[in-house]
Amino acid sequence: MTTAYPLQWPAGRPRTDRYRRENGKFDVTFTRARDNIVDEVRLLCGGRWATDPNIVISTNIGLRRDGLPLAGQRAPDDPGVAVYFTYKKRQMSFACDRWLKIEHNMQAIAKTIEALRGIARWGTGDMLEAAFTGFTALPSPGAVRHWREVIGVGPEVRDLTAIRSEYRRRAAQHHPDRAGGSHDAMTELNAALAAAEKELS
């Protein structure tokens, strides 16, 4: 499960060192950059007649009710942005943290998707498929999942009582003594609860 908050960086993608980040040349607001990503993904996936591409814009910015990043917040220390969506039944991911401002990283992703739409319009289909090969979202072996994903709670849940309740429900399912349960699943679940308690207490 991909989380919109906090930032879930694609597994296996290198990060830009903080001291290597640059000032962007984009003249764009946060709201416009966010909306540009949504528009470009929808156009790439077939416009308004396409099936829902399940867009997730993952950042360290809090969320609106519809799950998109909320404008007008303090800039986070980590300006990275990762965008996930479904294209032709494949999970795709684009990520950028080259620029110092989060809206510039979002606009860079929107411009990249716009360029790929140009390949689709003016190139051949195999060129677009080849270009997309590097953007397919694949979990890396042994990647540590965020505790919210393991326990199964969204970013709006901050109450430890509710989190512990969901933990107990999942522990009953994944216990090694139950059919389908395993020691690995319980170890991951226990580590997730510990991480949640550390973060929220």
pLDDT digits (tens, 9 = 90+) for 56-102: 999 999 888 888 888 888 888 999 999 999 888 888 899 999 999 99
- Rounded to an integer, the average pLDDT of 121-141 is 62
The encoded tokens of residue 147 equal 């505790």
pTM for this predicted structure: 0.64
The encoded tokens of residue 180 equal 């389908």
Question: Is a pLDDT exceeding 90 seen at residue 4?
Answer: no
3-state SS class at 5: coil
Question: C-alpha dihedral over 116, 117, 119, 122, to 10 degrees?
Answer: -170
pLDDT digits (tens, 9 = 90+) for 33-43: 999 999 999 99
Which residues make beta-bridge pairs with 99? Answer: 22
3-state SS class at 58: strand
In the chain, what are the domain boundaries? 18-135, 147-200
